[in-house]
Structure 1
């Protein structure tokens, strides 16, 4: 979502604080914060007040935000996709590949791989199940010189994984 978007204020429009609150939640979701389903944005209604945001401009911006939220949504929530099944989910996790961090710092390869192995073991029933909360709260050692995965790629993958595990 474009940051710093200035919406026009009109005589009668959407309640500015309500719109700002929703846009803030969307921005956080797109930046890796708590997820916000696109359907929730679609169902949002604003109070019409004097000196509010232009309704047409807000509606247009929200349509764009919905498209962006669908792109970052867990795979099972994307339009036209079936819900993830455990066998499919295990296969998806096992086939995940992350770029190396190169000269930048990155997540320790062994830590990330061990955590994903633990998730798969939980899905198979060979270990306690890993919850979406466990995935969101996972932390890995950061390595500077050594085998490390690109942190942003791993974080994006883990957000999708947490969303899939919530279902």
Structure 2
């Protein structure tokens, strides 16, 4: 699992960078089964609260919140491991992501992403696939950008790809 690279914002809703970085480090260590202190639980992620800097830069609230929602799946006891039935979950328990769509800002071509994600999930779940995906292919994949047409949110797709690369590394 790779630590996310949040953008930095000086205005608007933002979280304190130091607090977020420290919490994300604990999440990554827990997900990778490294001991750097107490493990982070799904409840810790759901109840996380960060200060808002009065002056100076911070991380955008929506980027951090999106990461935290995804991080719940990586932690022990998270939705991907809790044993809840999901028809789209494969043999290894890796389920299909739900990406937000965008129209008025740049996004990724939906058909290209769907096709690639289908191959990633089949590979990660050990299902038969004509062209198994490698971690290097995930790292180097490029999707066509779309503007003014419906596309997938770039940050969400990239976050999923970072996670998927860890599955196959």
Alignment length (residue pairs): 123
Q: Which residue in 1 is equivalent to 2:29?
A: 37
1:77-109 deviation line (CA, Å, top 9, x unaligned) = 40224499852546x12xx32221120110111
Query: 1:147 corresponds to which residue?
Result: 150
Structure 2 unaligned regions, length at least 5: 1-14, 46-66, 84-88
CA drift at 1:149: 0.7
Unpaired stretches in structure 1, ≥5 consecutive residues: 6-22, 46-58
> In 2, are the aligned partners of 1:121 and 1:127 still within 8 Å (CA)?
no
Contact 2:31 2:75 in 1 (8 A): no
Contact 2:108 2:151 in 1 (8 A): yes
Q: Partners in 2 of 1:26 and 1:133 — Cα distance?
A: 28
Moved over 4 A (4+): 23-27, 39-42, 67-72, 83-86
Aligned twin of 1:78: 75
Which residue does the alignment assign to 1:132? 135
* Residues 37 and 73 in structure 1, CA contact (< 8 A), matched pair in contact too: no
Q: For the pair shown, which has the larger CA radius of gyration, 1 or 2? A: 1
Query: In the aligned structure 1, how far is the partner of 2:29 from the partner of 2:21?
Result: 14
Q: In structure 2, what is the Cα distance between the partners aligned to 1:162 and 1:74?
A: 17
